[in-house]
Structure 1
Amino acid sequence: MTKLSRSSQIILRTGVARVAILTGAMLLGMTSAFAQVAFEQPEKDYKGQVRLGSATRGQPLFSGGEVSVQGQNFKPGQKVQLLKGAVALSENGFTADQEGKFEGKFKLPENAAVGTYPLIVTTDSPYFADITKLKISPKVPLSGEDKFTLSSEKLSPGLYQIGVSEKSNAVFVTSAVGRPPVKTSEILKLDPETLKVVARGKPADAKDGGVHAVYGLGVDDAKGTVWVTNTRQNTVAVYKQSDLSLVKQFEPGLAQHARDVKIDEKDGKAYVSQVGEPEVAVFDTNTLEKLPSVKIESKVRGEKFSPASIDFDPISGKVFVISLSTNEVAIIDSVAGKVDKVLPVKGGLSTIGIAYDAADDRIFVAGQGSDNLLILDGKTGETLHNVAVGAGSLNVTFEPVKKHAYVSSRDAGTVTVVDANGKIVANLPIAPFANHVVADGKGGVYAVNKSMNPDDPNGDRVTLITAK
């Protein structure tokens, strides 16, 4: 080690002292500046809302794209800034108009990574800070359309879910339009090949002046019925498969925010998911009476399991339930009437769709927030494959003949076909707003989509997808 001369040591010590003094002065100045920041009373009744999305309506947001910013419920004239960390995303921010609203845009960099980002919303006069989320989706190109035959038919507005009856050789579809009181809703019976309507069922009148609109759908071939969820009234109803006449309209409040319904034909039970409630409602398909619900406890500390999609395996008698809030799968023993186990879904965000492959014991999960399909080991819950399938992956069905999973991605407007090894076989155009998919067990898959507007020629269609 080289020894410094006495003069060099003096110069060094002097320099260090100067740096220390300068640093101290800077800190003192910063402390003084910080101390002078005004801490006026923060806003107590903050109701501001900021929505972020693609500047092109109905399209997902990709890297390099333009972000649309819309705000409402702010104070007239209030300044609003959007930050990623300490970096402002708009040079001058936004100013609320006399109605407390504003609109604006900013552009994403071309190399922006796919993912969901928490952004900070700040206001002045009065001050407040909030968090909003920005999601950048993967761009999955269309492919493999030449491997499939697609035939479609335009139906009623507001299609939701679809089911297949082998016994009746028919397809059933639910539809509903608008918010309560919903006055436009029906259940349809289709020819499985031509997709033409052969019967229509009208929901029962509701107390709010509308009808018991139908959304989720489950087919019971043992009883020759179709079960539907009346999400708006927090209940369910049963219709005959033959002519879609109403068998029973259950009273409101028996199944909170009822979404999906699946039938255990052997044991005579209907399982109904209740979004936001940590339990699955159960009904007796013989007596048409409500049974005790199956409670599900989340393994995530401090969180509540929120059932979304359901799948049922008639061989094992197991019910598979996905949680929208905690990214978990609950497996219910139908005979015992209780939860067998709860598995985490690693790599999923806002998990909402689920399907099960009994032959290979694989669970397929659609992550709406993570834009992916996750293939899990049915015993351990280990994530075997994580496949980017498109923006807003919503529902999934397993087609046992080819052993393919079909994923409907609402925002991307696609149905993605994925093999058991996590490889994309095809990415098919079912735009706009691909909503629900179901396999017929014989190699075909039915898909329904929604429309962008009442005059959209491509919306509100049912499509039969068959491999060539």
Structure 2
Amino acid sequence: MNLTALYLAALLACPAFAQQTAEHNDAFRLVAKIPVPGMTGTWDHLAADSSTSRLFLSAQEDNEVRVIDLAGRKPLHTISGGFNRPQGEFFVPGANSLAVTNGRDGTLRSFDGKTYEPIKVLSLTLGADMMDYDPESKYLYIDHGGVDSNRGPGALAVVDTTDWHLVRDIATEYRPAALEIQPSTHRLFVTLPGLSQVGVIDTRTSTIIARFQAPRPTKPVAIALDTADKRVFVGTRSPDNFIAFDTETGKTVATLDSLSGIEGMYFDAAHKRIYVTGLDGNVQAIQTIDPDHYKELARFFTGPKAGTSIFIPKLNLFCVALPPADGKVAEVWLFEPLP
């Protein structure tokens, strides 16, 4: 039995999920499958430029960034040369540039968004990974390091995207992971897996002003933010849970069972839903009932180790990246949320 068949057999063994598939579920409509030939490893993070309908994918073992034309439903370009395990990505719209972190050499590499030519290489520390952007200050925040992962002191690098220089580091000691900025309140929420916490940072003072505690030894690795309802959502491993925190008090207001090996989590403000992907190859959609209550709307399988995803609100698209498996080429699946 091949790998895909094993995943499907395990999924279908659970009656609650047997009726949910990528083609038939209560949260999405599958609108396209885009083949990505020649990709040989696994995907890491994704980024998007909604103004040109482009999707950027880190092919970490191939040391490449693939560019997909979402409107044309086809591969567009491959950025290669100089990468050392590309991981996190962020497209900076105002600067029309792409930022890519490299986990093995700890660098941040920036590229012209039109020509794909390199702009600058900035050295951080090992494990440079996920990012988020403050459009008011034009600062990009990048997680790197971590004493709990033998990468030196953990920190968030603050980089000015107008000239790509390092403004400062915000010390976290332990490894920071997923992060979300709330510009209206000058707060940044960052998961600290080694502490089972969500740290709250004041971006004006660059200090941690609060810590939201998840049950130990759970590891929060993914994050999404509902600004209107004052909720921050995290996806955890060991155990695999969805947790909703009150952003003002830090109190846990809801917990649900989630996916194994959570990788991505996104909030869809228009539909009041949270989308989750995990390394078990599943997609989970969670519906907000009210700010204190949530329910699972859908859960379905896409492909082995297909944990990489992104939601693009301006295009109303949820994208899931599938690595090659069982003789099939890598693909990007595009979903539109159902009303």
Superposition map of 1:321-360 within 5 A: 321-346=190-215, 349-360=218-229
Partner residue of 1:261?
Answer: 131
1:152 aligns with 2:33: yes
Instruction: Provide the C-alpha distance between the structure 2 equivalents of 1:140 and 1:243, rounded to a whole number of angstroms.
Output: 48
Structure 2 counterparts to residues 5-20 of structure 1, below 5 A: none
1:376 Cα deviation from its structure 2 partner: 1.3
1:188 and 2:56 matched: no
Aligned partner of 1:174 among 54, 58, 78: 58
Cα deviation per residue 1:357-414 (whole Å; 9 max; x = unaligned)? 1111111111122112111111122222211122222221111110111111112x10
Given the two structures, how large is their TM-score scaled by the length of structure 2? 0.84
Mapped to 2, the partners of 1:201 and 1:334 lie a distance apart of: 32
Q: Deviations over 1:215-235 (max 9, x none)?
A: 111121010011111101012
Query: In the alignment, what sits opposite 1:378?
Result: 247
User: Would you say the 8 A contact 1:437–1:448 is kept in 2?
Assistant: yes
Among 307, 319, 334, the alignment partner of 1:446 is: 319
Instruction: Report whether the alignment pairs 1:234 with 2:115.
Output: no
Q: CA deviation at 1:467?
A: 1.9
Question: 1: CA distance between counterparts of 2:4 and 2:25?
Answer: 29
TM-score by length of 1: 0.62
Larger radius of gyration: 1
Q: Distance in 1 between matches of 2:276 and 2:89?
A: 18
Q: CA deviation at 1:140?
A: 6.7
Q: Is 2:177 the partner of 1:308?
A: yes
Alpha-carbon shift at residue 444 of structure 1 (Å): 2.2
Q: Deviations over 1:250-292 (max 9, x none)?
A: 24xx133111022223212111112524321221212211222
Q: Is residue 236–residue 258 contact of structure 1 (8 Å, CA) maintained in 2?
A: yes
1:225–1:241 Cα contact (<8 Å) kept: yes
Give unmatched runs, 5+ long, in structure 1: 1-54, 66-137, 178-183, 205-210, 297-303
Residues 140 and 389 in structure 1, CA contact (< 8 A), matched pair in contact too: no
Other-structure match for 1:79:
none
What is the aligned counterpart of 2:77 among 184, 199, 220? 199
Q: Give RMSD over aligned pairs.
A: 2.7
Distance across 2 between alignment mates of 1:388 and 1:275: 30
Aligned partner letter, 2:25: D
Percent identity, aligned pairs only, is 19
The correspondence of residues 39-438 of structure 1 with structure 2, limited to 5 A, is: 141-142=17-18, 143=20, 145-147=24-26, 148-150=28-30, 151-155=32-36, 156-157=39-40, 158-177=42-61, 184-204=62-82, 211-251=83-123, 254-276=124-146, 277-296=153-172, 305-346=174-215, 349-411=218-280, 413-420=281-288, 421-438=293-310
Q: Is the 8 A contact 2:43 2:323 kept in 1?
A: yes
Aligned mates of 1:59, 1:326 — CA distance in 2: 32
Whole-angstrom CA distance in 1 between matches of 2:145 and 2:319: 25
Counterpart for residue 463 of structure 1 = 333
Cα distance in 2 for residues equivalent to 1:325 and 1:146: 35
Task: Write the distance in 1 (CA, Å) between the matches of 2:99 and 2:55.
Answer: 13
**Cα distance, 1:203–1:340 mapped onto 2, change above 3 Å:** farther
Distance 1:286 1:175 in 2: 27
Q: Deviations over 1:2-21 (max 9, x none)?
A: xxxxxxxxxxxxxxxxxxxx
Instruction: Report the count of equivalent residues.
Output: 315
Which structure has more relative contact order (CA 8 Å, sep 6+)? It is: 2
Aligned-pair CA distance for 1:417: 0.3
